[in-house]
Amino acid sequence: MDGNRRWAKRQGRRAEFGHRTGAENVHRLSSLCIQRDIAFLTLYAFSTENWKRSEREVRGLMRLLVLYFNKYADELRQEGVRLRFMGDRQGLPPLLTQTMDEAETTSADRNRLQLIIAFNYGGRREIVTAARSAMKEAIERGVDLQSIDEDRFSSYLYLPDVPDPDLIIRTGGDMRLSNFLLWQTAYAELYFDDTLWPDFGEKELDTAIEDFMSRKRRYGSS
């Protein structure tokens, strides 16, 4: 979801306007994914590094998430969308965490699309948190550390039941992962698009999917 601020600047507007427009695009992309039988969509909404932005912008992003789900939660549920969140909820405003909890609870029985919002998320933090959980279990239950293989380690991640992504799409032109799903993207295909997130629509999504389908995935084999 990269490019909201640059998009707003091109319109001569504040960053908040770009974030609002970008949030509206979440619903559009969710519907497009459902139409294409895509089962999982994970969006990077707020990273652990985004706290470095201005206090005004950070507060605005927190409010925006609450407003977005108050506006669209019922409609998303009706479309069969299960809402989930991944990231560290400590330090987030109580109203925001309450909104997250309610969105997850009320949509838990939906199965057409799992829409996962990565909020206050960092790939390195997720791995460190998982390592701490593994060590804690090893100490408390006497688990042999040698028994913790890749599959078992994955069970300590934020959403262990969600499969690794097949395709990572980054909008906005930057060609890096920026601390997103570092463990899960080991064999993901990467696709970079110069389009800013608010303008990323059906044409851009289909182009990315077509590019992905044309690739031969080897998973380390020849």
User: Within the chain, how many helices (H) and strands (E) appear?
Assistant: 7, 5
Is 147 in contact with 137 (CB distance < 8 Å)? Answer: no
Task: Catalytic residue, from 2, 25, 120, 193: name it.
Answer: 2
Chain mean position to CA 20: 17
Residue among 174, 160, 126, 182 nearest 1 (CA): 174
Does residue 50 have an active-site annotation?
A: yes
φ, ψ (nearest 5 deg) of residue 168: -110, 120
Task: Catalytic residue, from 4, 37, 50, 70: name it.
Answer: 50
Is 124 in contact with 183 (CB distance < 8 Å)? Answer: no
Q: What beta strand segments (E) does 90-215 contain?
A: 113-121, 167-170, 189-192
Residue among 122, 119, 142 nearest 130 (CA): 122
C-alpha 38/C-alpha 31 separation (Å) is 10
Does residue 2 have an active-site annotation?
A: yes
Q: Which residues are catalytic?
A: 2, 50
